[in-house]
A and B are shown apart, each in its own frame.
Chain A
């Protein structure tokens, strides 16, 4: 091994020419659902790196491989249907090809849908980069009786084609070899180009002659492509002309003239004519090379399945059933695992507590670092399980059907059919909910969905609200809880509608959505998706969650009431001395036990009192006091305010903070299910004259709606890329929560409710 690598190094240093030739960059492109991911996996193996394209949140996957001693970088471009300037994915793809100029583009083509897939392929050809076409899913095409002569097709279009079956890795080696051959010049790159027909081509050439007037521009852009884009009145191309071309006005004038001529001549806008000509050219080519074998009796499985799954009435039932199943499995399997992770971290906490002496360092490690890391990882199993289910559905082709079934209902509220799934998942946990909004292609739909999903009742709000409901509404607790659960949906949908009618108003985004054929997902494909999503969650959102929990800890820990702490230590000492003296004088064991219990009880009481003092004294506690007037209209006092402030870290913390505020001890998160702890808290709250059914109802609604936990905010930032989104989300939810709580508190006075 060593010898060979040494050899290689030597050859490289001796022959610089080889070194130049050594590195090849291949971009992988194709329509959505063309099997691009499986080809990418087959080509790159384990060596994948996931990042983002600069400035946008579109995922960029890069794989690095070595073949015959040369270094190959494979860049996965987003799946697109075309190369217009309308979607981020298309702009990213186009920019990448224009700016980074990959050596080769491999375009993955779904052989069962040849014409539409070639539409994209030929647009890449226009960009002037050598291209190899992978006729993927050949097996499926043969089953459907579609026989393609790839050699003949290659000659007609000037593109080498290789037949592949990505899911089984077949033909992938040959595909890579063809790409390398093209890069090395073993295969001569063809100069053939899509022909737009006499009339359009004459307009194109006259535009090219105007474009030629700027030499620098000529070296930067493929002119034929630029001329077509100008005919199409492509916003991005016009922009490039304005910025980059010396004679931009002359070019734009010429373009305008050509567009007018085309509209008049064809009776249709030039952009449509251009597309029609492309399709006509493709249709002509396919007619010659594709044979449809009509003799084989084929069953359209996809249509047979759709007849049931998209049945008007059955469709909804099946959809809700599948969603329930995924939701149920995720949380019933995930929650115990999360519990175990939580338990593990509490063990680590115990270990640190016992091995370090009391002090700020110990508190910092246990309360900030360990619970911060734990707070990141408790979501991990749920994120993994949920995306296991969702990726499976996505890869089978069901997700588009789900959107089809739900679209009308969601559209009433200005959302998209695909918005339903993120919202429903958010009723379990908003973190994976927000992440699953990635299936929404249109940015407006996606932002809107993400902004309203955290209003749902999630798994962390549930114990808090359930506790409050059972403490104050006795036998009506169930109905109160579910009403609040339902309120989450109602508010989210109404808010979505309001946003759509105000800030996100404007031209409707196209729905037009392909319903891909049903396919059996590969294990590898599903696992890859799951791993990417979960890992980016830990990496990107995790660091932020950890940092934020440290900040919140600091806020609720400092400054420390030193006088009370010293006082506490003094009293503990004297209590201990008294106890020891008494214990040594006691005669029987019964009395000793009584003394010990008494001593422990007093100790806990003092400890709890100190915890309350500490919290009150902290910045967070002071803030709670300070903002009391603000939340007076909701019926809250400063103690509730402190608990709500602590709830920024995670909603379940509200219970444990209330425990501290009420001096019943520092309950840890893992003690929440402990009936004794919550029972005492409930008792305390019920006996407190400050609490009544009115302000508790307001409190529950406030907890449901107010600022999402930091984990959610972190994921929103990660998913949407800009800080303004989590900041806006935090701001508007706070306002809505305040309004709703005030409304309920003020008006419930005249309503007959009570415990």
Chain B
């Protein structure tokens, strides 16, 4: 499952990245890597982008990017 499958308020752990190139580089540099945990906070009016809470900071990603982040849901 990918990050888009997590509902608002849901918790997740990242298990892999499908992104390539610059997008992957940016994600990885921001600490969006395997093992990182976080929460989906909300989505914008047109359902895109979404906001994530990660350890120590908040970040927003487009759905197209979120789809490339593979996660596991944490209950």
Contacts and interface: CB of A to CB of B under 8 A. Distances in A.
Do A and B form a real pair?
yes
Contacts of A116: 30-31, 56-57
Interface stretch (A404-412, A565-573, A608-616): A404-412
Query: By CB atoms of chain A within 10 A, which of B22, B34, B51 has the most?
Result: B22
Contact of B44 (A115, A275, A312): A312
B67 interface: no
Interface of B is mostly: mixed
Interface residues of A, number: 44
A174 to B, nearest CB: 25
B31 A512 contact: no
A340 B23 CA distance: 50
Interface string A272-310: 100110010000000000000000000000110010001
5 contacts: A271-B24, A276-B34, A404-B49, A407-B44, A511-B61
Contact of B60 (A271, A276, A404, A409): A404
A315 B44 contact: yes
A311 B35 CA distance: 29
A515 B58 contact: yes
A509 interface: yes
Contacts of A315: 44-45
Interface in B20-55: 21-35, 41-49, 51, 53, 55
A712 interface: no
Interface in A493-520: 507-517
B7 interface: no
Query: By CB atoms of chain A within 10 A, which of B47, B58, B62, B64 has the most?
Result: B58
Contact of A510 (B23, B33, B34, B35): B23
B17 interface: yes
A405 B23 contact: no
Given A86-B22, A272-B28, A276-B34, A408 B59 contact: no
A466 interface: no
Given A507-B22, A510-B22, A515 B51 contact: yes
Interface string A76-106: 0000011010100000000000000000000
The 7 closest A-B pairs by CB, nearest first: A408-B46, A82-B29, A113-B56, A515-B58, A510-B26, A510-B23, A275-B28
Contacts of A112: 56
Contacts of B25: 82, 84, 86, 271, 510
B33 A275 contact: yes
B44 A512 contact: no
B44 A272 contact: no
Nearest to A442: B22
A310 B33 contact: no
B46 A512 contact: no
B24 to A, nearest CB: 7
Contacts of A513: 59-61
Nearest to A277: B33
Contact of A279 (B24, B31, B61): B31
A405 B56 contact: no
Contacts of A312: 42-45
A512 B65 contact: yes
A515 B59 contact: yes
A275 B47 contact: no
A739 interface: no
Given A315-B44, A404-B51, A408-B45, A275 B56 contact: no
